[in-house]
Amino acid sequence: MKKILLFASALLLTISVEAQIKRPQPQPGPMPTVHVKKPQEFTMKNGLKVMVVEDHKLPRVSYMLTIDTPPYVEGDKAGVSSLTSAVVGNGTTKTSKEKFNDEIDFLGANVSFWNTGASASGLSKYSSRLLELMAEGSLNPLFAQDEFDKAKQQAIEGLKADEKSVASVAGRVTDALLYGKDHPNGEFVTEQSLNNVTLGDVKQNYATFFVPENAYLVVVGDVNFKDVKKQVEKLFKGWKKASAPVATYPEAKDVAKTQVDFVDMPNAVQSEIALVNTVNLKLTDKDYFAGLIANQILGGGGEGRLFLNLREAHGWTYGAYSSLGSGKYTSKFKSSASVRNVVTDSAVVEFVKEIQKIRTEPVTQAELDLAKAKYIGNFVMETQKPGTIASFALRTKTQSLPADFYENYIKSIEAVTVEDVQRVANKYFKADNQRIVIVGKGADVAGTLDRLGYPVNYYDPFANSVEKPVFKKAAPAGVTSKTVIENFINAIGGEKKLKEVKSLSVASKGSMQGMELTMTQKQTNKGQSMMSLNGMGMEIMKQVVTPSMGYAVQQGQKQDLTGDDLKEAQESSKLFDELDDLKNADSFELTGIETFNGEEVYVLKKDKSTVYYSVATGFKVAATEVVEAQGQTFEMTSTYGDYKEVKGIKIAHATSLPLGPGMSLELKVSEVKINEGVSDADFK
């Protein structure tokens, strides 16, 4: 009997090993605390505060010098601080730029400088040399005229490149309106203000603000406090005691009642929407952690309500997020997204709805738990990164945090309740005092904004108030799609002349990210077309279309055009397509007169394309195509200008070619050949 039992239990045992083993999912342990290494500190007579965290796990060291400069207004010299950043670090009064950089390279180290600080990191065996290099670059910068000129030129080019960028105009206007142009956060750099800055101003900026009174040097790594102290005292002894002036500027004020602020950018293919209000939320405020979580739930990421609503449920945008600023100075709460033109007003409605909802209804416990888990997870991963010890130590000083702020961070997050979230949402997400800044294409968008029920104000791209522009007006009587097309044909030479053209070859030049590009376009009246873009001695892009086939080659990948793609390409490959359009002029809809780049234009629409013809000259100014890719809709706009006569026909000599959303290639025509230089071999 006993034997049988034994046998049975042995059998059971084998069964339980072979069969599935049910093991419940473990519950998380108590939330961990972050053990932030406490720095050893000393303060020099000139005011420089030094914090050293010895960390001997790896033989490396990092130095970070930060000057905690109170914000100031740069005024008509806006850009002086960024130019100062660009100039410091390019050599010192003792060492040439080449020699200085060569040594850093040799050491395998990273060293950089900016207008209010410097950093250096590398192997700890070079710790003293690294500190010497950083001190030398910080305290004896070389202000060379050529480096200054170069930096200024680059800054101006940068501004120009951004001129038509809807996103950067949106950023500029949003801050200028929210804070005011006379506020450090609201002012912006212009070509004019950059041109006002001289090398002398840069030197002055450095002399005024690169001072030790509110400077912190944080040293982390495999070093010894005593050695560091000795060396820092020696190297930074000559840094003369001074403090940066505390600037005064008007305080930013929220609007009394929520309003829409609209900026017209006729080239916009998406509207940039930002709902903003100012925030004064210190890291030491009792609302701080609840604020982080409330923002996380509203729009902190892919699980945020804004994302789930505007992207997942409606598919209007690639992403919608919110952010809540904090710190010892005024910052902002912002909810934003880039959405398709036609859904601009609907998107605003959903933004407002979500902000109202988190203010009036308690969030669910599940949402709160997920937001905390994500937030804590992210925070914890952050603490693991090199550099975090230094930034914690620094922020503890500059934001006057209690010594155990980061130790208690997770606990503080955990303590946030559903009620806290609602309370802080009411306090900081100021639904009734927001500016809803929209930058977009007025002709498509502006008409819908009045429906939102808020006052609507209009601004130019530099945040200057303007009268409500006329975005669209009716074409005068007698003007039809047919007369517009006829007008264009006559303006460039007339139907007879155009029909004599058998082939057209246009070569143009442009540049992109410093790369010289050449483009060749060839077309015949037999429906053949070829376009090839070359740079750096190689072909970047090519497209060939004939009445029987078509293909495109991009970055080495060849793709045959088929079906509708081929048909579309063939249709747009006609030489002077207006000649054809004229026959079917009725298929175009003349929607009225709009403004394109400051010029009045007739707008002709057909399916997914829109063509703009100048009211004054009759020339074609631009054409756009609506393109769908990866679930997103884009408008690709080509522009045409500088029409010049070649063999009796006027050809646009300045064109721009769309390369993708927000990207275009500006081209200048270098050679035009009519009825020569083109053969069937070009279209193989």
Partner 1 sequence: MRKSLTALASALLISSVAVAQKVEFEEYTLDNGLHVVLHQDKSAPVVVTSVMYHVGAKDENPERTGFAHFFEHLLFEGTENIARGEWFKLVTSNGGHNNANTSDDRTYYYEVFPSNNLELAIWMESDRLLQPVINQIGVDTQNEVVKEEKRLRVDNSPYGNWITEVKKNLFKKHPYRWAPIGSMDHLDAATLEEFRAFNKKFYVPNNAVLVIAGDIEFNQTKELVEKYFGVIKRGADVPKVNIQEDAITQPIIATAEDPNIQIPMYITAYRTPSMKTRDARVLDMISSYLSGGKSSPMYKKIVDEKKMALQLFAFNYAQEDYGMYLIAGLPMGDTTREALQSEIDAEITKLQTELISERDYQKLQNDFENRYVNGNSNLESLAENLASNYLLYGDINLINEEINIYRSITREEIRDVAKKYLNSNSRLLLDYVPAKDESAK
Binding site for partner 1 (CB under 8 A): 17, 20-26, 28-35, 37, 55-60, 105-109, 122-126, 129, 222, 370, 373-374, 376-378, 380-381, 383-386, 388-389, 410, 536-539, 551, 553, 555-558, 560, 684
Task: Give least dist CB 629 to partner 1, A.
Answer: 16
Q: Which is nearer to partner 1, 51 or 604 (CB)?
A: 51
Buried b (16+ CB within 10 A) or exposed e, 369-394: eebbebbbeebeeebeeeebbbebbb
Q: State how far the Cα of 250 lies from the Cα of 162, in Å rounded to an integer.
A: 29
User: In terms of Cα–Cα distance, which of 139, 129, 138 is closest to 227?
Assistant: 129
Q: State how far the Cα of 648 lies from the Cα of 675, in Å rounded to an integer.
A: 13
Q: State how far the Cα of 243 lies from the Cα of 209, in Å rounded to an integer.
A: 8
Q: Which is nearer to partner 1, 75 or 386 (CB)?
A: 386
Residues recorded for the chain:
684
3-class SS at 304?
A: coil
Task: Give least dist CB 520 to partner 1, A.
Answer: 16
Q: State how far the Cα of 673 lies from the Cα of 505, in Å rounded to an integer.
A: 5
Task: Give least dist CB 302 to partner 1, A.
Answer: 10
Task: Give least dist CB 29 to partner 1, A.
Answer: 4
Q: Which is nearer to partner 1, 123 or 456 (CB)?
A: 123
Residues contacting 221, CB < 8 A, separation 6+: 53, 54, 55, 58, 60, 61, 62, 124, 127
Write down the H helix ranges in 259-328.
288-299, 305-306
Question: Dihedrals φ, ψ of 287, to 5°?
Answer: -85, -10
Task: Give least dist CB 58 to partner 1, A.
Answer: 5
User: In terms of Cα–Cα distance, which of 415, 129, 406, 410 is closest to 284?
Assistant: 406
Task: Give least dist CB 676 to partner 1, A.
Answer: 26
Phi-psi region of 631 (alpha: psi -120 to 50; beta: other; left: phi over 0): left
Task: Give least dist CB 575 to partner 1, A.
Answer: 24
Task: Give least dist CB 28 to partner 1, A.
Answer: 5
Buried b (16+ CB within 10 A) or exposed e, 321-337: bbbbbbeeebbbbbbbb
Strand partners, 340: 270
Strand partners, 667: 655
Token pair for 534: 């070359």
Task: Give least dist CB 605 to partner 1, A.
Answer: 36
What would you measure as the largest C-alpha separation in the chain, in angstroms?
115
Q: Which is nearer to partner 1, 3 or 106 (CB)?
A: 106
Q: State how far the Cα of 520 lies from the Cα of 682, in Å rounded to an integer.
A: 11
Task: Give least dist CB 222 to partner 1, A.
Answer: 7
Task: Give least dist CB 409 to partner 1, A.
Answer: 10
Q: Which is nearer to partner 1, 40 or 204 (CB)?
A: 40
3-class SS at 659?
A: strand
Task: Give least dist CB 312 to partner 1, A.
Answer: 16
User: In terms of Cα–Cα distance, which of 433, 422, 420 is closest to 285?
Assistant: 420
User: In terms of Cα–Cα distance, which of 501, 499, 549, 504 is closest to 523?
Assistant: 504
Q: Which is nearer to partner 1, 2 or 57 (CB)?
A: 57
Type of residue numbered 425: A
Q: State how far the Cα of 270 lies from the Cα of 266, in Å rounded to an integer.
A: 10
* Pair type for strands 259-264 and 435-440: parallel
Q: Which is nearer to partner 1, 48 or 389 (CB)?
A: 389
Question: Dihedrals φ, ψ of 18, to 5°?
Answer: -75, -40
Task: Give least dist CB 555 to partner 1, A.
Answer: 7
Task: Give least dist CB 583 to partner 1, A.
Answer: 33
Task: Give least dist CB 93 to partner 1, A.
Answer: 18
Q: State how far the Cα of 139 lies from the Cα of 118, in Å rounded to an integer.
A: 10
Token pair for 410: 């997770």
User: In terms of Cα–Cα distance, which of 73, 462, 429, 458 is closest to 278?
Assistant: 429
| Contact criterion met (CB below 8 Å) for 457 and 259 | yes
State the helix-helix crossing angle for 344-360 and 442-449, rounded to 10 degrees: 40
Q: Which is nearer to partner 1, 35 or 45 (CB)?
A: 35
Q: Which is nearer to partner 1, 557 or 630 (CB)?
A: 557
The radius of gyration computed from the CA coordinates of the chain, to the nearest angstrom, equals 32
Q: Which is nearer to partner 1, 60 or 311 (CB)?
A: 60
Q: What letter would DSSP give residue 158? A: H
Q: Which is nearer to partner 1, 14 or 584 (CB)?
A: 14
Task: Give least dist CB 684 to partner 1, A.
Answer: 7
DSSP states along 370-404? HHHHHHHHHHHHHHHSTTHHHHHHHHHHHTT--TT
Task: Give least dist CB 41 to partner 1, A.
Answer: 19
Q: Which is nearer to partner 1, 478 or 556 (CB)?
A: 556
Q: Which is nearer to partner 1, 556 or 563 (CB)?
A: 556
Q: Which is nearer to partner 1, 221 or 266 (CB)?
A: 221
Q: State how far the Cα of 166 lies from the Cα of 159, in Å rounded to an integer.
A: 13
CA torsion angle for 428, 434, 438, 444 (degrees, to 10)?
Answer: 130
Q: Which is nearer to partner 1, 381 or 466 (CB)?
A: 381
Q: Which is nearer to partner 1, 184 or 221 (CB)?
A: 221
Q: Which is nearer to partner 1, 1 or 17 (CB)?
A: 17
Q: State how far the Cα of 661 lies from the Cα of 99, in Å rounded to an integer.
A: 42
Question: Helix and strand tally (H, E) in the chain?
Answer: 21, 26
